[in-house]
Amino acid sequence: MARRAGAPEVNAGSMADIAFLLLIFFLVTTTIETDAGLDRMLPPIEPPDQDVVIKQKNIFQVNINKNGQLLADDQLIEISDLREKAMAFLDNGGAPQGSPDYCSYCKGARDASSSDSPGKAIISLKNDRETKYSTYITVQNELVGAYNDLRDREAQRLYGKNFVDMEAEYLNPETSDETKEELKEKVKRIQDLFPQKLSEAETTTN
């Protein structure tokens, strides 16, 4: 074996492979930034078959006027107070013990003149045609936040986890099927404890 003189040349032939590897890696991992937002369901256009009678005390009226002012249950309030108000309303559990609507997990004031149980409580949102979209989104966000806070509380109590995290994991496509199956039940149960009943009436014109 003849010994070569000088430093041996570095073999650069595999550099191309490395570059390709990098190229493919970036191609695969790059995901275009996903959008995020508030999910909502619109009410179907056909009216329900029979008129449902809803007690006035089970409705939490939220009105936004064109100046972005907020009227909640006939009181002028700040948007920053809305979440608290909505939570107090949802969590009230006014039905007396022994009645079918009795809410055992509610921690609210149990005021007989407010909502009976979270299942009955409805938040009705009304807005003016000239309301700014950003105000509307803030209000929506606060209402969704009120539900999420209450659901988080129950999820913490029952499973020691936050509802929002559980739901995110459930919706994550990378979660394995068994975990999903298990989470599905839990998520469903929490959702049933505080069902999201947010009605949006048609906007008023004036």
Partner 1 sequence: MSKFAKKKDGEVPAVSTASLPDIVFMLLFFFMTVTVMKDSSLKVENVLPNANEVKKLEKKDRVIYIYVGKPTKEYERVYGTEPQIQLNDKFAKPSEVGDYILMERAKKPQELQNVLTTALKVDKNASMGLISDIKQELRKVNALKVNYTTYEGDAFRNLQ
Residue pair 150/174 in contact by the 8 Å Cβ criterion: no
Residue pair 152/141 in contact by the 8 Å Cβ criterion: no
Nearest approach, Cβ of 42 to partner 1 (angstroms)? 4
Residue whose CB is less far from partner 1, 124 or 140: 140
Based on the number of CB atoms within 10 Å of its own CB, is 107 exposed (0-12), middle (13-18) or buried (19 or more)? middle
The closest of 155, 128, 175, 133 to 37, measured between CA atoms, is 133
Residue whose CB is less far from partner 1, 109 or 144: 144
Residue whose CB is less far from partner 1, 45 or 53: 45
Q: Which residues bind partner 1 (CB under 8 A)?
A: 12-13, 15-16, 18-20, 22-23, 32, 34-45, 68, 79-80, 127-138, 140-142, 144-145, 148, 167-168, 171, 173, 200, 202-203
Residue whose CB is less far from partner 1, 76 or 112: 76
Nearest approach, Cβ of 72 to partner 1 (angstroms)? 16
Nearest approach, Cβ of 154 to partner 1 (angstroms)? 17
The closest of 120, 118, 111 to 91, measured between CA atoms, is 118
Nearest approach, Cβ of 170 to partner 1 (angstroms)? 11
Q: What three-state secondary structure class fits 72?
A: strand
